[in-house]
Amino acid sequence: MEKLLNLLTLNRVRFHALSLRGRVLLSQIPLSATMLLLFLWIALTDAALFDDSRLRASVVLTVALFAACVVVPWERLPYPSFLAVPLLDFVPIGLLRESAADTVTGLGLLAAFPVIWLAASGQLPRFSIFASALATLGVVWVPLFIGDARVTLESLTQPLLLPFMMFAIAVTVSVMTSSMTEQQRVVESKDVELRALLDDTARRERLLNAIVNAVGVGVLAIGEDGRRLMMNSTQQALHEYGMPRGVLDAREDDLLLFGEGGTVPLAAEERPERRAAAGETFSDYLVWIGEPGNQRVLSTSARTIRDADGRMEGSVIAYSDVTEFVAALAAKDDFVSHVSHELRTPLTSIHGYAELIGMSENLPSEVEWGLEVITRNSTQLLGLVSDLLGAASGATEIRVAPNDLAALVRSAVNAGLPRAAAAGIALQADTPESLPVSCDAARMTQVLDNLISNAIKYSPQGGAVTVHAGATDDGVMFSVTDTGMGMSDQDARDVFTRFFRSSEARRSVIPGLGLGLALAKDIVERHGGSLTCRSVLGEGSVFTCTLPATESAREVAEAR
């Protein structure tokens, strides 16, 4: 039934899916069926009409045209020769109209069937419109010319309504058809574009999956509601590692995640996934995963995904396994601290005994000179060893008390004068009378000593080092300026990194470990201040330290 309905309603999709012969046949059926019904009607009501040869010819032609639709191999004929059928349809219609006009009225309207076919075919639109109008004109005029009656202007104009109607129908159908064809073309081209887009998207997805699974980093994507959208294979393995025993399908809250050191479980809001779901962006956030005693250390980073309007759509979290790296760092610190401890005791005694012997009187001059060398070198070695110890033991306690920065600067400069004089460098302080500050005097002196001794160490003979101190809008500052070898921009940026030594320092074989500035920066920052470096290669460097106002300095130090 559905099939039949589809056929009768000329369902577009099915009609286009038909073969050309099927389409020709289907287009001819409405007219042939109507004509046959009319022939039957005439046979039943007025059979005498069949004596008229025109009616018989109409029957024969109707049947012949229908048969042609079935028999002729339209696919093999030049396109669109099938239009001959609707054109020829006007002949049996004209013959029927002429022979049975008295019995059945309005037979000329049958022309609407071939007119619609011609116009709806979408082929040769202009030809179809004019052919429709002319053929209908033929239907009404030809009998006038071949008949016996006299052709008058009135007899010619009277039946013009029919051709005019058919012309209008042809124009309307043709316009609708071309607009539908255009729409169809647009839909088809959109369909092609959509398919290409889908193929491209599928290809990108495969590529992304391959990349995400190939990297040795766990990757997790979550939606704006915290729902997990994607997890790569590495993350899957890490996830399983963090699952408590006996739990098969762990949620983020169930995972065994711990904070610094791997002992204190992470609170819900400190978990990387929760932080990312809350819209936080972070890098290198260390978490410990797994049962205590058998944990792995993960460095986690998160970035939010935003749509074109800047609204958060979700987040991507990356988990890198840094267990070996963290273990290596701990082993290195352990080793450094151990070695420096072992070195300090014999060194202190060498230094002490050298000084003791130096106090004796009447020593030969070469012994005195030798003792001086021992003392100088052992002092330097002790300095290096305490730098090493300081770096390995990490944060030293800061005890903040009211101090005068100007006095601290002046005494550090005084302490550096002998070394500056020996190196042929002019060292001077430029400070106001007093500069009240809250700081740990011993630690701040350590910073000043380090900066001043560096300025002397990395300046050639004849250079000048100035230590300037003063007040700022929100605290105090001091700077150490030298006219020494300076550094490149890149080196000046890396200068506070542990064990960093500039290329110039390495080339000029000036001894050092690259730890002093890292320690100095740590001390200043733990006072709530900052330590920066500006340097020009071959011209000199300026190290600037700022410290916050008295009260805030105390708060920062107490909070640490």
**Crossing angle for the helix pair 516-525 and 441-457, nearest 10 degrees?**
140
Position 495 contacts ligand ADP (CB under 6 A): yes
Position 505 contacts ligand ADP (CB under 6 A): yes
Position 389 contacts ligand ADP (CB under 6 A): no
Q: Among 15, 50, 285, 500, which residue interacts with ligand ADP (rule: CB under 6 A)? A: 500
Q: Which stretch binds ligand ADP (CB under 6 A): 51-59, 73-81, 215-223, 480-488?
A: 480-488
Rounded Cα gap, residues 324 and 239, in angstroms:
19
With contacts defined by CB under 6 A, how many residues of the chain interact with ligand ADP? 22
Q: Among 92, 125, 416, 514, which residue interacts with ligand ADP (rule: CB under 6 A)? A: 514
Binding string, residues 210-229; x marks residues near ligand ADP by CB under 6 A: --------------------
Q: Can you give the length of the chain in residues?
A: 560
Q: Which stretch binds ligand ADP (CB under 6 A): 174-182, 341-349, 471-479, 513-521?
A: 513-521
Which tokens in the block code for residue 132? 């429709």
3-state secondary structure of 510: coil
Nearer to ligand ADP, 442 or 536 (CB): 536
Q: Among 89, 98, 440, 482, which residue interacts with ligand ADP (rule: CB under 6 A)? A: 482
Q: Among 128, 232, 541, 546, which residue interacts with ligand ADP (rule: CB under 6 A)? A: 541
Position 522 contacts ligand ADP (CB under 6 A): no
Nearer to ligand ADP, 277 or 485 (CB): 485
Site for ligand ADP in 114-173 (CB under 6 A): none
Which tokens in the block code for residue 238? 């890490």
Q: Among 95, 133, 139, 517, which residue interacts with ligand ADP (rule: CB under 6 A)? A: 517
Residue 90: which residues within 8 A CB-CB, separation 6 or more? 111, 114, 135, 136, 138, 139
Position 32 contacts ligand ADP (CB under 6 A): no
Q: For every residue of 222-262, which 3-state class applies, written as one string? A: EECCCCEEEECHHHHHHHHHCCCCCCCCCCHHHCCEECHHH
Token look-up 């130090």 returns 557
Nearest distance from C-beta of residue 413 to ligand ADP, angstroms: 15
Position 502 contacts ligand ADP (CB under 6 A): yes
Question: Distance of alpha carbon 263 from its chain centroid, rounded?
Answer: 36
Position 463 contacts ligand ADP (CB under 6 A): no
Rounded Cα gap, residues 313 and 304, in angstroms:
8
Position 450 contacts ligand ADP (CB under 6 A): yes
Which tokens in the block code for residue 108? 């000329």
Provide the β-strand partners of residue 453.
none
Nearest distance from C-beta of residue 421 to ligand ADP, angstroms: 18
Burial, 183: exposed, middle or buried (Cβ in 10 Å; 0-12, 13-18, 19+)?
exposed
Burial, 427: exposed, middle or buried (Cβ in 10 Å; 0-12, 13-18, 19+)?
buried
Position 515 contacts ligand ADP (CB under 6 A): yes
Kindly report the backbone phi and psi dihedral angles of residue 450, in degrees, each rounded to the nearest multiple of 5, phi listed first.
-65, -45
Position 392 contacts ligand ADP (CB under 6 A): no
Position 531 contacts ligand ADP (CB under 6 A): no
In angstroms, how far apart are the furthest CA atoms of the chain? 166
| Closest residue by beta carbon to ligand ADP | 512
Q: Which residues of this chain interact with ligand ADP, rule CB under 6 A?
A: 450, 454-455, 458, 482, 484-487, 495, 500-502, 505, 512-518, 541
